């Protein structure tokens, strides 16, 4: 049973560029959340998608946007990259019943902005 | 605003030396408290969910407990492979986000 799959695993971008990160949720999960984790910090909530709509958003600027597709996969887009956007970006999937293992994380995409 | 504070920031133990990690939380209405393990450069790996004060859960050398203000992750006779960062997170009713602490970096010395 495949868990949460994220791509790419590593990415280097130049300041001002745009980036798209991808996530395929765990089989049976229909809700996708995105988190940003800076070095030495806990993950910070960016937003959550359910039924192709943004259900909740954290304290991130509009440069961060997302999308969920009919097959429940999701994309995170970041425009006008800043050096401070360098971090590990994590995708977590879950299901409405929020059972015991309701929040499953992928291995993340390491984004470096230079 | 939900808040999670973990202590200590780092902990070094000899193999077999038992100890506890602390997670203090402030949340408007606790829906669940989660413990995750995270290895360097990897995503968090789910360990436990606790829902109400007094609840306890065990998995191998780990045991998690919950009170109304804090949770403890007890590690008994740890092995070097237990070395990792342990993250605590909470979620409240009417909310969809996990609020994480900054983690405890645990090192087990052979």
Low-confidence residues in chain B, pLDDT < 70 = none
Closest CA to B11 of B106, B110, B108, B109: B106
Place of tokens 């994590």: A90
What residue ranges do the domains of chain A occupy?
5-113
Mutate to test the interface with B, among A103, A107, A108, A111 (most CBs of B within 10 A): A103
**Dist CA A14 CA A114 (whole Å):** 5
pLDDT tens digit string along B56-79? 999 999 999 999 999 999 999 999
Domain borders along chain B are 3-109
C-alpha torsion A39→A107→A101→A46, nearest 10:
50
Closest by CA to B45, choosing from B107, B109, B108, B103, is B103
* CATH number, domain B3-109, options 2.60.40.10, 1.10.1200.10, 3.90.1720.10, 3.40.50.300: 2.60.40.10
Consecutive H or E run containing B24: strand B19-26
pLDDT at A5: 97
Task: Check pLDDT > 80 for residue A98.
Answer: no
Size of interface A-B (CB pairs under 8 A): 56
Residue A1 C-alpha, separation from nearest chain B C-alpha, in angstroms: 16
pLDDT digits (tens, 9 = 90+) for A25-73: 999 889 999 999 999 999 999 999 999 999 999 999 999 999 999 999 9
Residues sharing a CB contact under 8 Å with residue A60, sequence separation 6 or more, in sequence order: A36, A46, A47
Structurally, what CATH architecture does the domain formed by A5-113 represent?
Answer: Sandwich (2.60)
């Amino acid at each position: 049973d495949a868990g949460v799959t994220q791509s790419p695993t590593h990415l280097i971008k130049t300041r001002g560029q745009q980036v798209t990160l991808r996530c395929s949720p765990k089989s049976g999960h229909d809700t996708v959340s995105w988190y940003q984790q800076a070095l030495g910090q806990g993950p910070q909530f960016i937003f959550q998608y359910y039924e192709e709509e943004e259900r909740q958003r954290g304290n991130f600027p509009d440069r961060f946007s997302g999308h969920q597709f009919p097959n429940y996969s999701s994309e995170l887009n970041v425009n006008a990259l800043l050096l401070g956007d360098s971090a590990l970006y994590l995708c977590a999937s879950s299901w409405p019943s929020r059972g015991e293992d309701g929040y499953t994380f992928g291995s993340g995409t390491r984004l470096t902005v230079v | 605003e939900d808040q999670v504070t973990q202590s200590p920031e780092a902990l070094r133990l000899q193999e077999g030396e038992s100890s506890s990690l602390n997670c203090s939380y402030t949340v408007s209405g606790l829906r669940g408290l989660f413990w995750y393990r995270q290895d360097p450069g990897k995503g968090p790996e789910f360990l436990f969910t606790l829902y109400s004060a007094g609840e306890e859960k065990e998995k191998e050398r780990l045991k998690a407990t919950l009170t109304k203000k804090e949770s403890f992750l007890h590690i008994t006779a740890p092995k070097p492979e237990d070395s990792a960062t342990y993250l605590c997170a909470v979620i409240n009713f009417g909310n969809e986000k996990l609020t994480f602490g900054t983690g405890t970096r645990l090192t087990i010395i052979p």
